[in-house]
């Protein structure tokens, strides 16, 4: 995917989040999810952090070589045993619940409906640049967008599961996320497991 195609995919995913959030009942906002102690409101509180943060990310331009060539490479570091995904897991869970209690429904939905799409417009004007990825790495902007697509896709599936809906995610989001997760798996083990030639445990590649 080109960066413009990735941004279009991200925009379509955020549109689904916004539309769903504006249509839910109070009972639906309180439904449990398959993510531990999170209800739907907590899931939105966590999910909104990416479009919110993207509004700042598009201004963090850096004239430097990327520390990681791809989104997959950075996510592998994040998900290493001592990586940030493990170190901050408890904090992220607690923070989502706290923000769910603090924000109104309108505030939970707004980044998907307004702030995030505005940042996408800015990103389209930047083209191929490098950004400081939240103080964790230097990454090409298109690869940073790749992570946003994955986050929006995976958690949209979580949301639809919580609401008892049949998965209905933009096809480009599903395809891009599947390719990104496959790129994180050891190639030989992934191929042999996917073709039934081995039973090696290659999943999960991301937690």
**Phi, psi torsion values for 132, nearest 5 degrees:** -80, 110
Cα atoms in the 13 Å half-sphere on the side-chain side of 51? 28
pLDDT digits (tens, 9 = 90+) for 116-147: 999 999 999 998 899 999 999 999 999 999 99
DSSP code, position 167? P
pTM for the model: 0.95
In the predicted model, residues of the chain with pLDDT beneath 70 are 200
Q: At 140, list the tokens.
A: 């090409």
Per the CB < 8 A criterion, the answer to whether 182 and 69 are in contact is no
| Domain ranges, ordered by start, for the chain | 3-170
Q: Which residues contact 162 (CB under 8 A, 6 or more apart)?
A: 31, 32, 33, 34, 39, 40, 43
Alpha helices in the chain (DSSP H): 3-23, 26-29, 40-47, 49-57, 71-78, 84-87, 89-102, 105-110, 116-126, 141-162, 171-184, 187-194
Architecture in CATH of 3-170: Up-down Bundle (1.20)
pLDDT of residue 53: 97
- Which secondary structure element, helix H or strand E, spans residue 138, and what is its range? strand 138-140
pLDDT of residue 63: 96
* Cα dihedral: 179, 184, 188, 189 (round 10): -110
In b/e form, how buried is each residue of 9-46, taking b as 16+ CB within 10 angstroms? bbbbbbebbbebbeebeeebbebebebeebbbbbbbbb
pLDDT of residue 71: 98
pLDDT of residue 207: 74
């Amino acid at each position: 995917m080109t960066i413009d195609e990735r941004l279009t995919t991200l925009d379509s995913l955020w549109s689904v989040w916004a539309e769903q959030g504006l249509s839910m009942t109070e009972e639906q906002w309180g439904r449990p999810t398959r993510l531990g102690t999170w209800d739907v409101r907590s899931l939105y509180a966590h999910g909104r952090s990416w479009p919110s943060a993207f509004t700042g990310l598009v201004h963090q331009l850096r004239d430097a070589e990327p520390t990681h060539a791809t989104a997959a490479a950075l996510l592998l570091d994040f998900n290493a045993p001592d990586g940030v995904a493990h170190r901050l897991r408890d904090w992220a869970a607690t923070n989502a619940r706290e923000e769910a209690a603090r924000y109104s429904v309108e505030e939970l939905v707004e980044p998907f409906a307004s702030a995030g799409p505005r940042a996408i417009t800015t990103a389209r004007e930047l083209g191929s640049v490098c950004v400081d990825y939240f103080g964790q790495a230097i990454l090409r902007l298109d690869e940073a967008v790749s992570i946003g697509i994955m986050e929006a896709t995976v958690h949209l599936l979580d949301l639809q599961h919580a609401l008892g809906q049949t998965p209905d995610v933009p096809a480009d989001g599903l395809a891009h996320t599947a390719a990104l997760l496959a790129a994180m798996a050891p190639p030989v083990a992934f191929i042999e497991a996917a073709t039934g030639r081995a039973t090696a445990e290659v999943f999960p590649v991301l937690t």
